A and B are shown apart, each in its own frame.
Chain A
Amino acid sequence: ETGVTQTPRHLVMGMTNKKSLKCEQHLGHNAMYWYKQSAKKPLELMFVYNFKEQTENNSVPSRFSPECPNSSHLFLHLHTLQPEDSALYLCASSPGQGTGNTIYFGEGSWLTVV
């Protein structure tokens, strides 16, 4: 079982749909992250949760709504997305937040908005 698991791996949704991405970490970490990776762009940090509390929202549009019910689970709720939101969405975790904490990624969820 991998350390950070994401489902679904691939998702195609229409602009009026509502869907969710799920992430679970089995590493006993306290911090969890959502990143967006688009072609020819650096990884973009979207949200950070530390001990279930959101510590960073990197000016993400409200059509992306995170949820962290506990330190092991993280969701990204999606609604009324735009085609430019099509990207690889990566969940990650680390022992804590801040310097010295190594980030471990899940396998990613490929999102296509049509």
Chain B
Amino acid sequence: QKEVEQNSGPLSVPEGAIASLNCTYSDRGSQSFFWYRQYSGKSPELIMFIYSNGDKEDGRFTAQLNKASQYVSLLIRDSQPSDSATYLCAVGGYQKVTFGIGTKLQVIP
């Protein structure tokens, strides 16, 4: 079982729609959770982090965490073509952060 699982996509959504990106993790002891955005040919940039169960909102982005289900998601409201990128889920354990393979998001104008 992979430590951090994401569907590699691509996930295609029309402009203005809500994009929902999902991630599951295997280590129940994980305590910190991150979403990074990576444009083609660029390095990952941090979008959000979440530590507690529930929702955390930042502008058009909402991170959702459910530790009981070992599930973390990222919602992007009012998706824009500029949101087209690969979104990496990262999960922090005691000594290290483990990354998923990333989900490629395509926002169609």
Contacts and interface: CB of A to CB of B under 8 A. Distances in A.
Q: Do A and B come from one complex?
A: yes
Interface of A: 40-43, 45, 48, 55-56, 88, 90, 97-108
Interface of B: 4, 8, 30-32, 34, 36, 42-46, 49, 51, 88, 90, 92-102
A56 B32 contact: no
* Main SS at interface, chain A: loop
Given A106-B43, A107-B42, A107-B43, A100 B92 contact: yes
A95 to B, nearest CB: 12
A43 B31 contact: no
B37 to A, nearest CB: 11
A46 to B, nearest CB: 12
A10 to B, nearest CB: 11
Contacts of A104: 46
Given A40-B8, A42-B100, A108-B43, A102 B95 contact: no
Given A42-B4, A43-B88, A103 B45 contact: no
